[in-house]
Amino acid sequence: MKKTFIVTGSIIAAFFILYLFNRLTSKSDTTYSFTEVQKGEFEIAVTSAGELIAEKSVDITGPELAQGRDIRSTNIRIQDLVPEGTLVNEGDYIATLDRTELNNNLKDARELLLQLQTNRDMKLLDTAIVLNDLRDEIKNQRYIVEEAGITLRNSKYEPPTVIRQAEIDLDKSQRVLEQRQRSYTRRLAQSKTDLYNQNFWVSRVSSRVRDIEEVLAGFTVTAPASGMVIYKKEWRGNKRKVGSTINPMDRVVATLPDLTSMISKTYVNEIDVSKMKTGQKVNVTIDAFPKKAFTGVVSSVANIGEKLPNTNDKVFEVQIKIDGSDPALRPSMTTGNKIIINTFRDAVYIPIECVQAGIDSIPYVYKKNGTRQIVLLGATNEKNIIIEKGLDPGSQIYLNNPEKPEKFRLAGDELIPMLKERDKLKKAENKTYRKNLQGVL
């Protein structure tokens, strides 16, 4: 019996303790459901993540592949590349490019050059022999013409038939001489043309061999200046590394950024881009240095939107120039950017979740004194909203709906005409905007 009494007493005590705990918790929840109307500086800002890039940089490029060179456009693979972040001096080794394709091209060009040179030399020899034979034939024919002339002169006392035969022989020999001279002239001109064409191709292929040799000499890439090697980002956002390719239109292997002047590159959505202007102040944080704070200004805002990989949202690039310099800052570091759009001094504001609205869209808040206060709203940021009229600093208001809102007394009726007038002006502005937009389209 005594044991049962002890157990029953323990259960009652446990329930009593649980009851007290629930009462204390309920009071605590009630206390934390209120907030105080604040007054002070009110910032409207757009926050976004970004990354650091150098404002200026020196490109480390491979050899010139196309301009002024007899080399077909080709992609060249990066065979070896120093680690990103390597500090180098001017002339230090940076990368090696794959020579396989151009080595094959050079071999083919050399073989073709040797064949063309051999053909040209054979053509020169054949031409010399043929022209020499033609000149001998012309010389021999001149002797025949001379002999025919002597025969004609000696036959002046011969019968007319003999004289006539001598004249015919002289005429024939002269015509043969003229034919051989014309043939020689044609053959000489043809030989010159053939040799010109062969010399042209020999010269062209020789030039191609020199171009390939010069390009191959640049396949060992060195630093054009001192600095830190940063891998180049391609248009898809991937870094150019070993196995990547360069081409005649984009020969950059890596970059040497100027670390004394850094840019935070970020993207904002199309809703917020209209708020962006050059010169706006920005608070910048670096994920790698959470205890450090930096400032900057908006230096450029893109006019044309773009779609980032793996998203359908259209965004606009915004560049923020970091004030001063810090040796700890490096390209590709992740940044947090708070772009200050506007700042209000001595503004009265409350959390956004405190504001309620009925079917008539008239905004109000629940005050701790038991009133449902109509308010005139102003600008807003991510967490708070400005109260232009209806609340005084220090007033206690509900963070959310109270348990019995119907018991709260309505206050601030005098603000209703102002709210309706403001709503009317907004509708007129929207109508004008739509009309102007249709005119533009």
Residues 299 and 160 in one domain: no
Per-residue H/E/C for 249-304: CECEEEEEECCCCEEEEEEEECCCHHHCCCCCEEEEEECCEEEEEEEEEEEEECCC
pLDDT at 427: 78
> What are the beta bridge partners of residue 54?
262
Is 18 inside any structural domain? no
pLDDT at 8: 36
pLDDT at 422: 86
Tally of domains in the chain? 3
Instruction: Taking residues 41-49, report their average pLDDT.
Output: 91
What is the pLDDT confidence band of residue 436, given thresholds at 50, 70 and 90? low
Domain CATH code at residue 92? 2.40.50
Is 1 inside any structural domain? no
Is 17 inside any structural domain? no
pLDDT in tens, 129-177: 999 999 999 999 999 999 999 998 998 888 999 889 989 999 999 999 9
Is 3 inside any structural domain? no
Note down the domain range covering 107: 103-217
| Lowest-pLDDT range of 175-184, 222-231, 306-315, 367-376 | 306-315
- Please report the sign of the dihedral spanned by the C-alpha atoms of residue 286, residue 379, residue 348, residue 407: negative
Residues 83 and 212 in one domain: no
- Please report the sign of the dihedral spanned by the C-alpha atoms of residue 42, residue 44, residue 46, residue 52: negative
Residues 268 and 411 in one domain: yes
Neighbours of 30 (CB within 10 A): 11
Is 125 inside any structural domain? yes
Least Cα distance to 270 among 298, 237, 309, 306 occurs for: 306
Residues 193 and 72 in one domain: no
Q: What percent of the chain has pLDDT over 70?
A: 88
Distance linking the first and last C-alpha atoms of the chain = 93
Residues 398 and 283 in one domain: yes
Domain CATH code at residue 302? 2.40.30.170
Instruction: List b or e across 306-340, with b for residues whose CB sees 16 or more CB atoms inside 10 angstroms.
Output: eeeeeeeeebbbbbbbbeeeeeebbbebebbbebe
Q: What percent of the chain has pLDDT over 90?
A: 53
Residues 390 and 267 in one domain: yes
- The span from the CA of 174 to the CA of 181, in Å, is 11
Residues 291 and 365 in one domain: yes
CB-based contact 246:101 (threshold 8 Å): no
CB-based contact 342:334 (threshold 8 Å): no
Answer yes or no: is pLDDT of 240 > 80. yes
pLDDT at 326: 87
Residues 155 and 201 in one domain: yes
Is 136 inside any structural domain? yes
Instruction: Taking residues 368-382, report their average pLDDT.
Output: 91
Is 23 inside any structural domain? no
Residues 366 and 231 in one domain: no
Is 155 inside any structural domain? yes
Residues 141 and 190 in one domain: yes
pLDDT at 73: 61
Instruction: Taking residues 203-225, report their average pLDDT.
Output: 90
Residues 292 and 371 in one domain: yes
Answer yes or no: is pLDDT of 32 > 90. no
Residues 300 and 422 in one domain: yes
